[in-house]
């Protein structure tokens, strides 16, 4: 069967993303749009809108033209929105780059996206210069680099703001022109540029309104990276479009995070699972007054129901909210609304308007399944990406001829229409014919009071059978043993799901959005196997 949103369809929003977000700014005037969570500096909506116009003019004077790709390589800051929307206002496509990129990774994204311009910050300049050298050696030099906070030999944000010419008036086709070119996390393959049009992103914001729309003046804490589509959408596009106040932090540090909530009386938290884990368990949290928090929305990776409940109790919330989507979906398809009095526990919410969902059988038949049955999730709607940049074959493998995007995620829909996401198709462990979901075992492991973090992958035993192996981060000061871990899991799951091997590690590799990078663990195991042979 095809599951359809219970909410009325919304019309496509045919506006450039900067206009869809900032056109209401005139009405918000002197209201605070942005607060630097470290310094307290404030930016009003009027100042932000004026800055975007000047940045667009400055970029146009520097030579940026419609259709150019501008790479934005910066941590979260109150300058980031001016650079992002300013580049869009100038007619450019923005490719957002991870703050953790190495020179090789940055050069790879710059080259793959065909970016000619780079906007960065002075602490990242050594990486940027090394990447630029790699590009130049390959015969693809950058046209220019802007350093927002200033560096000798490069224009700064202040220089762009000082531009005296008019802002350009590029002819943007929202349906076809690419607004943002984020790169997929690469958890199941090499990162690929995801072509998101102005229409797909702007329409997805309108779709999300039915379930999540911050109030005018509501204070939302932005610690998730803006370079990731989750942070870009949930912590810039949507709150600024709605007249909220975004409190910006450059990175996650628990003490700084809690202090910002206390000082700025933050009402909305939009986070990833590792932050939920810290808020639920770390003793430092009790030192701060977090009573202003009215809701916490978590997405980007599966969240254990018991962990969510523990965090909700600590923050004195009725329950945590969850959402679901992916970069290829602009990114939102499901959300639990802050006004929902009784969402299905553990679910990622209901379909946003104008969106359809199919759950298809995992046996290769492609048969549609009904409520309560687990299968691969397929999505169709206006938020589906235009495709992978320069990769038509990869696009065709994900988006079929009828417009259904095959997510690679496994889940089911309950009788009330709430979606539950179980795991990834490609990450299922096949143990003696049984399918074992790593996320399920990780949730069990995180229920142990002496386990701070955990990841599970499939590894081959001496007989060549794929078995679950747990990588466990112990709570400091505990003497947890591998046998105790295995026994703990064995007492809570079916026999075929038992953890067959345990390795203690200092940290679980995760993406900036909080997703476990199981491919890194698998690569580590492959290297060991190769060295032993």
Contacts of 388 (CB under 8 A, 6+ apart): 192, 193, 194, 195, 394, 395, 398
Rounded Cα gap, residues 360 and 76, in angstroms? 39
Cα–Cα nearest to 325, from 230, 221, 189, 214: 230
Q: Does residue 24 sit in helix, strand or coil? A: coil
**Domain end (from 171, 189, 205):** 171
Q: Is residue 422 part of a domain?
A: no
Give 469-488 pLDDT, tens digit per residue: 999 999 999 999 999 999 99
What is the average pLDDT across 26-55?
97
Q: Which pLDDT does position 428 carry in this prediction?
A: 79
Structure token digits, residue 263? 């000082």
Give the β-pairing of 219-222 and 268-271: parallel
Q: Which range (190-194, 269-273, 331-335) has the least confidence?
A: 190-194
Q: Is residue 399 part of a domain?
A: no
Predicted confidence band of residue 519 (pLDDT cuts 50, 70, 90)? confident
**Domain end (from 127, 151, 171):** 171
Give 269-292 pLDDT, tens digit per residue: 999 988 999 999 999 999 999 999
Q: What is the DSSP secondary-structure string of 377-393?
A: EEEESTTS-SEETT-HH
Q: Is residue 516 part of a domain?
A: yes
3-state helix, strand, coil in the chain (%, to 5): 35, 25, 45
What is the average pLDDT across 235-257?
97
Q: Which pLDDT does position 155 carry in this prediction?
A: 97
Q: Count up the domains in the chain and report the number.
A: 2
Predicted confidence band of residue 186 (pLDDT cuts 50, 70, 90)? very low
Burial pattern 436-463, b for ≥16 Cβ within 10 A else e, equals bbbbbbbbbbbbbeebbbbbbbbbeeee
Residue 103: give its domain's CATH number: 3.40.50.980
Give 205-219 pLDDT, tens digit per residue: 999 999 999 999 999
**Domain end (from 116, 143, 171):** 171
Cα–Cα nearest to 445, from 402, 398, 512, 491: 491
Cα–Cα nearest to 343, from 323, 319, 325, 324: 319
The range of the structural domain enclosing residue 56 comes to: 43-171
Q: Is residue 410 part of a domain?
A: no
């Amino acid at each position: 069967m095809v599951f359809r949103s219970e909410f009325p369809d919304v019309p496509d929003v045919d506006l450039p993303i900067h206009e869809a977000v900032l056109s209401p700014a005139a009405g918000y005037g002197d209201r605070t749009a942005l607060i630097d969570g470290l310094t307290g500096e404030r930016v009003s909506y009027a100042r932000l809108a004026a800055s975007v116009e000047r940045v667009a003019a400055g970029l146009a004077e520097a030579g940026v033209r419609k259709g150019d790709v501008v790479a934005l390589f910066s941590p979260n800051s109150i300058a980031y929105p001016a650079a992002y929307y300013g580049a869009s206002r100038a007619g450019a496509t923005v490719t957002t780059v991870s703050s953790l990129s190495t020179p090789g990774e940055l050069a790879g994204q710059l080259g793959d996206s065909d970016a000619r311009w780079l906007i960065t910050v002075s602490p990242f300049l050594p990486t940027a210069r090394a990447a630029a050298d790699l590009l130049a050696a390959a015969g693809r030099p950058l046209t220019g680099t802007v350093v927002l906070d200033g560096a000798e030999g490069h224009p700064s944000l202040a220089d762009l703001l000082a531009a005296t010419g008019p802002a350009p008036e590029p002819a943007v086709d929202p349906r076809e022109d690419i607004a943002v070119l984020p790169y997929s996390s690469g958890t199941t393959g090499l990162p690929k540029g995801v072509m998101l049009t102005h229409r797909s992103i702007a329409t997805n914001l309108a779709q999300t309104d039915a379930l999540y729309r911050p109030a005018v003046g509501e204070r939302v804490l932005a610690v998730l990276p803006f370079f990731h589509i989750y942070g870009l959408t949930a912590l810039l596009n949507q709150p600024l479009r709605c007249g909220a106040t975004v409190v910006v932090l450059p990175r996650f540090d628990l003490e700084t995070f809690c202090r910002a909530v206390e000082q700025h009386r933050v009402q909305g938290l939009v986070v990833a699972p590792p932050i939920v884990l810290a808020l639920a368990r770390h003793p430092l949290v009790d030192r701060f007054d977090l009573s202003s928090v009215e809701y916490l929305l978590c997405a980007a990776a599966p969240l254990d129901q018991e962990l969510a409940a523990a965090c909700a109790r600590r923050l004195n919330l009725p329950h945590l909210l969850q959402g679901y989507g992916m970069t290829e979906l602009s990114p939102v398809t499901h959300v639990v609304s802050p006004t929902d009095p009784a969402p299905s526990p553990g679910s990622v919410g209901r379909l946003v308007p104008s969106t359809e969902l199919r759950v298809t059988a995992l046996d290769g038949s492609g048969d549609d399944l009904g409520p309560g049955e687990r299968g691969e999730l397929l999505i169709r709607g206006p938020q589906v990406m235009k495709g992978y940049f320069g990769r038509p074959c990869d696009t065709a493998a994900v988006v079929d001829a009828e417009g259904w995007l095959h997510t690679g995620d496994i889940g089911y829909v309950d009788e009330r229409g709430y979606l539950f996401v179980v795991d990834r198709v490609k990450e299922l462990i096949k143990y003696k014919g049984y399918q074992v979901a790593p996320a399920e075992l990780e949730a069990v492991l995180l229920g142990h009071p002496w386990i701070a973090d955990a990841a599970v992958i499939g590894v081959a035993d001496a007989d060549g059978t794929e078995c679950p192996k747990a990588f466990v981060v112990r709570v400091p000061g505990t003497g947890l043993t591998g046998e105790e871990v295995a026994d703990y899991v064995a007492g809570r799951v079916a026999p075929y799901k038992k953890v067959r091997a345990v390795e203690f590690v200092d940290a679980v590799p995760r993406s900036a959005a909080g997703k476990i990078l199981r491919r890194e663990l698998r690569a580590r195991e492959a290297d060991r196997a190769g060295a032993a042979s």
